[in-house]
Amino acid sequence: MIYATNVYAKHLEVGYSSEAMQQFSAKDVTIATNVWLQQLVADSNNTATFSFYSDKGLAKAAKDGKADYLSAYGLAYVKYFDLSKLHDAFSGGSADRRDENLILVLPQGMTKKQFLKLQHPKVAMLKGNQLAKLYTNYIFLKSKNHTKVKFDEQRTNYRALLNLFFHKADAAVVMKKTFAFASELNPQIAKSLYIAKKTNLCDGNFGFFTSRVNPAFAKEIKDLSLSLNHTKKGRQVLDIFRTEAVIVTKVSQLKPIEDLYHNYLKLKKKEEKHK
């Protein structure tokens, strides 16, 4: 909730999705966030606090006016939030967001068509990655292969790709930048595996303001946060989050994820009718 303790002071409630932060330690997130918030309130009477929520809990906090700046995965917004009440803000991510798009990686010699005909395929991905699961289920449902997919969930995207490389999975759904990094680290990966399908589904975090935030204050917070790219303390925060930069995130960027989600629900409903 934004409120004024005097004409100039404002308060910012930051809400993090715990699901989107699970790959980081709570200690690291707390340290990094405290550094960021100190930057925001420096030389002003402003105050700021932050809390962790489940995806549904974050949506409720936003609706109840208990969270002003939100940080979560794109699919969480699509499933639980009223997108019309969210406003463009910022988040940590790659300078080129296309690097965070999901890709389907297969072994050389296997076509996508062959993959989609497999029975009980094992697909490696980041642990808890609901967007990767949704995409995988969707492409099998669309191909009319109603097999049950086994998800091989790993601690990192890189580990998921390695499981495919070492023949412990049939495919991997990871970020585009993971394949580029792994191929540079080990050229054999690029020789043994290939990108069978690129998507426009961004698997990074998205940060948005709620409608309750005063536009002038939102701009102030956004500008201060983007300035972290150019300070020593800011770089320390980015290093903790293992992210390249603070970038602008737009609600319109959720459209591909929104389309996937609704198309999946339509196919699922159609499938259930024919059972």
Mind listing the pLDDT tens digit for each residue in 90-131? Answer: 998 999 999 999 999 999 999 999 999 999 999 999 999 999
Tens digits of residue pLDDT in 219-267: 988 998 898 898 887 787 788 777 889 999 999 999 999 999 999 999 9
Q: Note the pLDDT of residue 1.
A: 34
Per-residue tokens: 164: 């495919």
Does the pLDDT at position 23 exceed 80?
Answer: no
Q: How far apart are CA 79 and CA 102, in angstroms?
A: 19
pLDDT score of 50 more than 70 = yes
* Residue scoring higher pLDDT (240 or 159): 159
- For residue 120, how many other CB atoms are within 10 A of its CB? 9
Average pLDDT along the chain: 90
pLDDT at 8: 41
CATH C-level class of 98-202+263-273: alpha beta
- Average of per-residue pLDDT across 67-87: 96
Rounded Cα distance between 203 and 162, Å, is 19
What tokens were used for 251? Answer: 């609600």
**206: β partners:** 72
Structure tokens at 236: 């320390």
Task: Quote the CA–CA distance of 60 and 161 in Å, as a whole number.
Answer: 35
Q: Inform me whether the pLDDT recorded for 79 exceeds 80.
A: yes
Q: How far is CA 191 from the centre of its chain?
A: 29
**Residue closest to 74 by CA, chosen among 267, 225, 255, 234:** 255
Residue 6 confidence (pLDDT) above 60: no
Q: What is the pLDDT of residue 43?
A: 63
For residues 2 and 124, the model is more confident at: 124
DSSP string, 117-149: T-SS-EEEEETT-HHHHHHHHHHHHHTT--PPP
The tokens describing 127, both together, are: 């642990």
CATH class of 11-95+204-260: alpha beta
The residue with tokens 């390695």 is 162
Could you state, in order of their start, the residue ranges of all structural domains in the chain?
11-95+204-260, 98-202+263-273
Q: How far apart are CA 41 and CA 217, in angstroms?
A: 12
More reliable by pLDDT, 144 or 175: 175
**E strand or H helix at 96:** none
Pure H helices in the chain: 26-41, 55-63, 74-80, 112-115, 130-142, 157-165, 176-185, 187-192, 215-226, 232-240, 255-273
Q: What is the C-alpha separation between 154 and 182, in angstroms, rounded?
A: 15
CA 164 to the chain's CA centroid: 22
170-202 pLDDT, tens digit each: 999 999 999 999 999 999 999 999 999 999 999
Q: Which residues contact 79 (CB under 8 A, 6 or more apart)?
A: 55, 261
**Stated pTM of the model:** 0.90
SS3 195: strand
The set of residues, in sequence order, having a beta carbon less than 8 Å from that of 81 and lying 6+ positions away, is 59, 62
